[in-house]
Amino acid sequence: MSRLRAALDPKSIAIIGASDNPNKVGGRPVHFLGKFGFKGKIYPINPTRPEIQGHKSYASLQDLPEAPEMVIVAVAGDNAIAAVEDCAAAGVKVAVVMASGFGEVDQIAGKAKERRMVEAARKAGMRIVGPNSQGLANFGTGAIASFSTMFVEMEPAAANAKGHVAMLSQSGALSTVPVGFLRQRGIAVRHTHATGNDSDITVGELACAVAEDPEVKLMLLYLESIPDKAYLEELAAIALDRDLPIIALKSGRTEAGKAAAQSHTGALANEDRVVDAFFEHHGIWRAPDMRGLVEATELYLKGWKPQGRRLVAISNSGAVCVLTADAATQVGMPMAKLASETDAKLKSILPGFATTTNPIDLTAALLSNSALFGDILPVIAKDPAADAFLIGVPVAGPGYDVPAFSRDTAAFAEQTGKPVVVAATQPSVAQVFAANGTSVFPTEVEAVSALHQFLAHHELMFRARSRRATRPPSEALITPRAETLMLNEADSLALLSSRGVPVVPHRLCLSRSEAVAAFTLIDGPVVVKGCSADIAHKSELGLVRLGVTSADATGAIYTEMEQIIAKAGARFDGVIVAAMAGGRREMMIGAHRDPVFGPVVVIGDGGKYVEVFRDTKLLLPPFAAADVHDALKGLRIAPLFAGAHGEPPMDVDAFVEAVVRVGEIMRDESAGVVSIDLNPVMLGSAGEGCVVVDAVVFHGA
């Protein structure tokens, strides 16, 4: 931890506004530093008392025997600003500012106060955590610069030093609530940091530093907004390099949530689907809610190297077998098909009324013969079709040898090295399994959900790592210029064509006679469109005519459109005469620049109802053809590509190629393209390709 060392592992900590009452904001850190075994120097600062919680108290920063590496600023309002200025002057390395009432309350005056503190700090080379921060807590070093109420009921140092989980958040409550859940499951946490308003050190920068702590095996994040992607990209890179899984709960998914986040932390609203795409691109698992943030934690700490998703379920309840098969299928984990030798061996062990196909139902026969369980596990362990295991013991007690089940399960997990989870309703049973190091969930649905998350996250990280290995990292963000220009359709098509995106055969005609000639050249019914860089919605002005069948008509329409455009007071850029594009499905390709995440490419089902159905997927450049194929598989219309209803397959490769080209245009700063809207892109049968029929491109001014 060379980065931000003074924030995570300071040698000395002073507390401005220290209180003798361990339940006051200024008293808690003093108490926690003692309780959690901080080895460095502790300097309470409070001019009204000689001693604070057994430590000598100092009247001011100037009275300390040394400049402390970290200062906790536990005084309120403008006093906090003055304290920060004092810290900067005194050569402090990091100030943790707990006071509220800054940018989170007042976007103008509050933010200005934050800037004042940050400027003072920058000049002196000091860093700031906060303001409005609940504080930092590194249980590995005992540096608990926090006033969290959650730590009051936490066990002291010993238990926590073994922790391998890091939890980071701007929010105080959300930095500690997951910790509370994990403690209830007996899982210790190493880092718990709440960065508050992120005026200087952001949660992302701190996460990069924490990710370098080799003891951290799993990182959890709670984010209300992502104002800047750079640190998250760096974090993801560090994490992929050292195989550190990251799970993020990003709230503000809905409009109501975004509004509440704005009130809470002045959060900038991110476009939620872009956030999804960003996390996926970087191998970060997005938890749907608080429960999803913590639910699978234990599985990440086992050191398993999963090879697949095929599940084997074993239970003494047939109903649990049924529910497990339902739950697994619904999340996309197939039930493994066991070998016939496995089946034969199971049949020789189990009674006739048991079920030997997967899911394996031991039935209530287990009540008469507790050895059944230990007898079948080694048989199943040898079957190569099994990637992961769920053992359901919904009810047990007197008559069942639960300690033996637990030992057999632990031995089985050891033997296979594959993921094994147990579902056990009764705490009395769950405790016996947990005591032997097995991960236990109250129901099969929670067990399957956690297992699925762990396996799918592993696959996500694998894909993100391969993507990184084969392609250059994302470039610095091109900030879209405020002024953008719409290209006329002819220029839009020309730009696309020059970059290798197939467009419909067409001619831009600047006279009636050129239009007539174009008809003859194209030879067949044509589409005639008026062309003007001032007119985005051509149809509404009568500037699109489909199925024109004669040269004369084409000429007449030319004249008519010239007049319409003149009447509209718009530039006349000519008239496009284009072939009637064939194809079987109207697709769409869009692209824009997200203010935070940069270029975003949207692909999917096209046509006029694209906004109604939104059957689209997002891709973040750089991406390759394989990524586009993966994205297409997630569309609702995906079954059509292979040919539904007896139809031949479509030319998906051609569409993928066009999407890749659009991604390249968006990555190329010199192209200066701000947004692209191609709809429809007509997709034909295999070998027929695809063509862009309508195109609107916006360019930097």
Region near a copy of itself per CB under 8 A, out of 248-256, 431-439, 665-673, 688-696: 248-256
- Binding residues for a copy of itself restricted to 546-575, rule: CB under 8 A: none
User: From the CA atom positions of the chain, what is the Rg in Å?
Assistant: 32
Among 62, 348, 428, 559, which residue sits at the site for a copy of itself (rule: CB under 8 A)?
428
- Judged by CB under 8 A, which stretch of 119-127, 283-291, 506-514, 681-689 contacts a copy of itself? 283-291
Residue 698 C-beta-side C-alpha neighbours within 13 Å: 15
Rounded Cα–Cα distance for residues 280 and 303 (Å): 22
CA distance linking residue 561 with residue 545, whole number of Å: 10
Give the contact letters, 252-271, x = binds to a copy of itself (CB under 8 A), - = no.
xxxxxx-xxx-xxx------
Residues 126 and 70: their CA atoms lie apart, in Å, by: 10
Collect all residues with Cβ–Cβ distance below 8 Å to 565 and sequence separation of at least 6.
Answer: 530, 532, 535, 543, 571, 572
Question: Segment near a copy of itself (CB under 8 A), from 9-17, 52-60, 320-328, 470-478?
Answer: 320-328
Contact call for residues 395 and 317 (beta carbons, < 8 A): yes
Sites for a copy of itself among residues 591-650 (CB under 8 A): 608-609, 611-613, 636-637, 639-640, 644-645
Q: How far is the C-alpha of 178 from the C-alpha of 294, rounded, in Å?
A: 6
CA 441 from centre of chain: 25
Compare residues 64 and 390 and give the one whose CB is closer to a copy of itself.
390
332 binds a copy of itself (CB under 8 A): no
453 forms part of the interface with a copy of itself (CB under 8 A): no
Residue placing its CB nearer to a copy of itself in the complex, 353 or 462: 353
308 binds a copy of itself, rule: CB under 8 A: no
What's the rounded Cα separation, in Å, for the pair 458 and 464?
10
One character per residue 485-524, x = contact with a copy of itself (rule: CB under 8 A):
----------------------------------------
578 and 504 in contact (C-beta within 8 Å)? yes
347 binds a copy of itself (CB under 8 A): no
The token pair that represents 31 in the structure block? 């108490």
What residues between 105 and 124 interact with a copy of itself by CB under 8 A? 105
Q: Of residues 156, 308, 318, 689, which one binds a copy of itself by CB under 8 A? A: 318
CB of 357 to a copy of itself, least distance (A): 7
Binders of a copy of itself among residues 25 to 54 (CB under 8 A) are 25
From 172, 574, 621, 622, residue interacting with a copy of itself (rule: CB under 8 A): 172
Stretch of 43-51, 83-91, 165-173, 207-215 lying at the interface with a copy of itself (CB under 8 A): 165-173
β pairing state of 189-194 and 218-223? unpaired
Interacting span for a copy of itself (CB under 8 A) from 17-25, 155-163, 491-499, 510-518: 17-25
Distance (Å, whole) CA 224 – CA 235: 17
Q: Are 595 and 522 in contact (CB under 8 A)?
A: no
Torsion of CA 642, 644, 648, 652, to 10 degrees: -30
Of positions 46, 192, 202, 251, contacts a copy of itself by CB under 8 A? 251
Closest CA to 448 of 248, 288, 634, 312: 312
462/613 with CB nearer a copy of itself? 613
Q: Which residues contact 613 (CB under 8 A, 6 or more apart)?
A: 605, 636
* Residue 103 in the binding site for a copy of itself (CB under 8 A): no
